[in-house]
Amino acid sequence: MPGLRRNALRAAVPIVGIALALTCAAPAQALPTPADLADVPSRTSISYEHVPTGTYVGSAEDNSPRPGLSTVKLYMADYIVRFGDGSARDRDLSARMVQVSDDGAASELDRKYPQAIGATAAEFGLTSTSRGGFWGNSSTSTADTVRFLAAKKRTDPASPILAWMATAAPVARDGFAQNWGTSLLPGVIGSKWGWADDRSSVVASASIGADFVVASNTYGPSRSNTDDVLATLGDLELTAPPAPAPVPNLPVIPGLPSVEELLQMLSPR
């Protein structure tokens, strides 16, 4: 029956194609788990959240208050944009705080709105965040930074804070490069960095992706921050892979193997 054989072969082609696609596709890697952050050096704190699912993981130091550095400028800018006097001057200074980490802009706004950091901490439940007399002495944790940024992405995705992170300058107002730490992770679209006046005793970096946020803080230079971040998260899938497409219910053709049998035949041994 040559005609029947040709029909059977034609019908078999899509089945084999489906089986090949299912077996040859690279296995999707899961989002980070607590085990992935178990070996983060004590000098560094790292926090990560996948925003759509709320999946959160943090290192052992994730809730410990550390020098907030310029990451607290995010808290200040958000408060001023939403609750300030709405002046063009305030908005310009807020943008400069985030994009070029302008300390002079931060000090001017801190004098005008000394309540900004505390009010943001109260609104977003940032329990490890406090203003220490002026913005430069403030403390926060990587868990708080991630909690704040994840909330902004969920409830206020059009926030200028997120837009300013996405348009940060390559070099800060004081001449320090802004190209290290969490900003080097795959999928990052915006970042904010912070560093001590000596540029080496403590640094911080925080970044956003399309559907994740991540923050880090290191007692050490930016190189150490980069090393610890990439060693911990650099090879992981930070964005959840799409759910696999369901296998269609195909008709059983006499003499041909089922999809399940094809998968077994084609799978590596």
Q: What was the pLDDT predicted at 7? A: 46
**Taking a C-beta distance cutoff of 8 angstroms, is the pair 146, 213 a contact?**
yes
The torsion of the CA quartet 77, 180, 133, 82, rounded to 10 degrees, works out to: 10
Q: What band does 84 get if pLDDT is binned at 50, 70 and 90?
A: very high
Spatial separation of the C-alpha atoms in residues 111 and 245, rounded to whole Å:
55
What token pair was written down for 138? 């403030």
- Lowest-pLDDT range of 70-74, 138-142, 168-172, 243-247: 243-247
Quote the pTM value.
Answer: 0.81
Q: What band does 91 get if pLDDT is binned at 50, 70 and 90?
A: very high
Q: What was the pLDDT predicted at 252? A: 62
**Taking a C-beta distance cutoff of 8 angstroms, is the pair 100, 169 a contact?**
yes
3-class DSSP assignment, residue 103 = helix
Q: How far is it between the farthest Cα atoms of the chain?
A: 90
Spatial separation of the C-alpha atoms in residues 104 and 126, rounded to whole Å:
25
Spatial separation of the C-alpha atoms in residues 265 and 14, rounded to whole Å:
16
**Mean per-residue pLDDT for 73-100?**
98
CATH 3.40.710.10 domain position(s) in the chain: 34-233
- Lowest-pLDDT range of 18-32, 142-156, 167-181, 192-206: 18-32
Q: What band does 13 get if pLDDT is binned at 50, 70 and 90?
A: very low
More confident residue, 208 or 14: 208
CB atoms within 10 A of CB 65: 16
* Domain made up of 34-233: CATH architecture: 3-Layer(aba) Sandwich (3.40)
pLDDT of 246 > 80? The answer is no
Tokens 């040709």 appear where?
A: 6
Q: What was the pLDDT predicted at 120? A: 98
